[in-house]
Structure 1
Amino acid sequence: MNKENHLLPANEQDRLRALTKYYILNTLSEAEFDRITELAYIICKTPISLITWSMSKGSGSS
């Protein structure tokens, strides 16, 4: 096992496939996601709220 792999969830490959399948990486702002972050901002009373989609190194994100 790679030293870094122990930090990854068991379903990491499924997660990466889903991110690729739904074409949500490197896209413009979408009202649905903006609404989710707005609700998080209101509920948590924080100065900022973000949704971040991340791919692992070498997984083909651009």
Structure 2
Amino acid sequence: MKRAIVLHSYSDMPTEEDTFPVYLSLGCPMVSPTFFKVIEKYIKNSKKPIIIHAFYGSKIKL
């Protein structure tokens, strides 16, 4: 069985860039509800599969 990666909104994620650390998810990527509303339109209207390139910064120790 393949694992599905889900992009979802999370109310504690900031919309604007900030220097305060955000939550680290070792699972699915999280975005702010405001940003999710923007990208949701692109996701729903896409006629082709979408590839999400996500990475963790080099300072994070997993």
Provide TM-score, normalisation by structure 1: 0.30
Q: Which has the higher strand share?
A: 2
Q: Where is the helix percentage greater, Structure 1 or Structure 2?
A: 1
